């Protein structure tokens, strides 16, 4: 199975949902990048996704998760858990 097909199978619907949400750091409008709070290489799943605009996503990878979370006053794990709960309740995009 090709990489893109494997990603779509593992994260597809949830990743599509996350892309439609505003950035959790700067609140920029969608589309957002689905960021893995726990990396796929470390066993991350669709439960670990949060929306970040491209600018914030790049910044997070440059400065590291702890510095990013502190600078933007955001708990990435808590946000991932919140989006997972919302997605499981109603997988329609939220009205932001």
Could you state, in order of their start, the residue ranges of all structural domains in the chain?
3-89
Report H helices in the chain. Answer: 3-19, 54-63, 65-72, 76-89
- Output 6 or 64, whichever has higher pLDDT: 64
Model-level pTM greater than 0.85?
no
How far is the C-alpha of 7 from the C-alpha of 74, rounded, in Å? 26
43-65: pLDDT as tens digits = 788 899 999 999 999 999 999 99
């Amino acid at each position: 199975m090709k990489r893109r097909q494997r990603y779509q199978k593992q994260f597809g619907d949830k990743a599509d949902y996350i892309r439609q949400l505003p950035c959790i750091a700067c609140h920029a409008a969608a589309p957002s990048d689905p960021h893995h709070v726990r990396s796929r290489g470390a066993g991350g799943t669709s439960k670990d996704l949060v929306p970040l605009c491209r600018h914030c996503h790049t910044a997070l990878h440059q400065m590291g998760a702890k510095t990013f979370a502190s600078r933007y006053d955001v708990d990435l794990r808590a946000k991932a858990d919140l989006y997972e709960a919302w997605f499981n309740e109603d997988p329609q995009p939220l009205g932001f």
